[in-house]
Amino acid sequence: MHTLKNLLARWSGLLWALLKPLGAWGVFAIGGIDAAVLGMPVDAVVAGYVYSHPHRFWVYVLMAAAGSALGSLVMYGIGYSMGDLVLEKRMGKEKFEHMRERFERREFLALMLPAIMPPPFPFKLFALSAAVFEMHLTRFMLAIFTGRVVRFMILSLLVIRFGPEAVNLAANLVRRQLVWMLAAIGLGIIIGVGFWLRGKRKPAAD
């Protein structure tokens, strides 16, 4: 196990060295690789770029989010083809049914909110579940992109304010306040959508 960890660490280091000179496209590629197969230090990469070029933070946020959404297509393909039985066997019947209910009620939020969470949150499990429950591909990618934009935007603002150590700061904050953060984000989104729908209905009523 120790040897495997060393090999993965070397591979990640080599990949980072190759992609770093690519700038924003390197962020895009690392986001895609992280979402598709290997766990890459995406937050640390984004933080490094933002710290070096704070005026371009929005570019790195969008590119990392886009790469993550595109890379998640691999998880979508795996989940779509593996079927309910395989996922149920891995998760257990109770957790599987709980996940199904969550996606049936609010499939967009059920994927977007996990996409906001930094490691070690098991986001790939939610991406696989979304595919197994046949979430539409467009909504799948949009939910991941939106969640990642929120995640990397928060990270970037923390880096600009506190420096690169904001990566650990954000991770520790999430671990301690995970439930409250999810509740606050979900409530904010629901209120925002409610106001938006209300605004759309008003002209029709007049």
pLDDT higher at 45 or 192: 45
Lowest mean pLDDT among 47-51, 90-94, 97-101, 124-128: 90-94
Lowest mean pLDDT among 43-47, 66-70, 129-133, 164-168: 164-168
Q: Using a pLDDT cut of 90, give the percent of the chain over it.
A: 20
Percent helix, strand and coil across the chain, each rounded to 5?
Answer: 90, 0, 10
**The residue count for the chain:** 206
Tell how far CA 130 is from the center of its chain: 13
Query: Does residue 86 carry a pLDDT above 80?
Result: no
Assign 102 a pLDDT band (cuts: 50, 70, 90): confident
| Structure confidence at residue 145 (pLDDT) | 96
- Average pLDDT of every residue of the chain: 76
pLDDT higher at 49 or 11: 49
Distance between CA 146 and CA 36 in Å, rounded? Answer: 17
Tell me which residue has tokens 């598709």. Answer: 36
Distance between CA 148 and CA 60 in Å, rounded? Answer: 11
Distance between CA 192 and CA 186 in Å, rounded? Answer: 10
DSSP 60-123: HHHHHHHHHHHHTHHHHHHHHHHHHHHHHHHH-HHHHHHHHHHHHHHHHHHHHHHHHPPTTS-H
Query: Does residue 206 carry a pLDDT above 50?
Result: no
| Structure confidence at residue 71 (pLDDT) | 94
Query: Does residue 74 carry a pLDDT above 60?
Result: yes
Assign 194 a pLDDT band (cuts: 50, 70, 90): low
Query: Does residue 111 carry a pLDDT above 80?
Result: yes
Is the dihedral angle over the CA atoms 48, 49, 52, 55 positive or is it negative?
Answer: negative
Structure tokens at 28: 């895009």
Query: Does residue 139 carry a pLDDT above 90?
Result: yes
Lowest mean pLDDT among 16-25, 36-45, 60-69: 16-25
Mean pLDDT of 5-31: 70
Neighbouring C-beta atoms of residue 118, cutoff 10 Å: 18
| Structure confidence at residue 122 (pLDDT) | 82
CB-CB contact of 70 with 32 (8 Å): yes
Query: Does residue 4 carry a pLDDT above 50?
Result: no
| Structure confidence at residue 149 (pLDDT) | 95
Q: What is the DSSP letter of 20?
A: G
Residue at 87: amino acid letter: L
Lowest mean pLDDT among 36-50, 72-86, 184-198: 184-198
